[in-house]
Amino acid sequence: SGGGRLLERIRKWYYNAAGFNKLGLMRDDTLHEDDDVKEALKRLPEHVYNERVFRIKRALDLSLKHQILPKDQWVKYEEDHHYLEPYLKEVIRERHEREAWNKK
């Protein structure tokens, strides 16, 4: 539908306007690290965690130098995936279960 395509174009525009992709970051790299996110990070496979650390360190370095990556190295909207989301959903579900159990 036309409305769906428009919404997708707006999402792409917003993704690029946010600017984190120009530093080589993915959406999940920018999440605020609350207790749930910290626990989810502990559950990531080692190589995924190491890739995240690399992206964040590179972005910090670029930011300090007031630089961005060459355009061909920007993370593209279509290539960005929520690598942390399944782990985070599991952590939140477990926390809700614990909270419900503790109310009994």
pLDDT digits (tens, 9 = 90+) for 44-90: 999 999 999 999 999 999 999 999 999 999 999 999 999 999 999 99
The structural domains of the chain, with segments of one domain joined by +, span 2-103
The yes or no reply on domain 2-103 and CATH 1.20.140.10 is no
Residues whose CB is less than 8 angstroms from the CB of residue 6 and which lie 6 or more positions away in sequence, other chains included: none
Among the listed residues 48, 59, 44, the one whose alpha carbon sits nearest the alpha carbon of residue 90: 44
CA distance 49 to 92: 19
Contact, 59 vs 23, CB < 8 A? yes
- Asked whether the predicted pLDDT for residue 95 surpasses 80, the reply is yes
Report pTM.
0.86
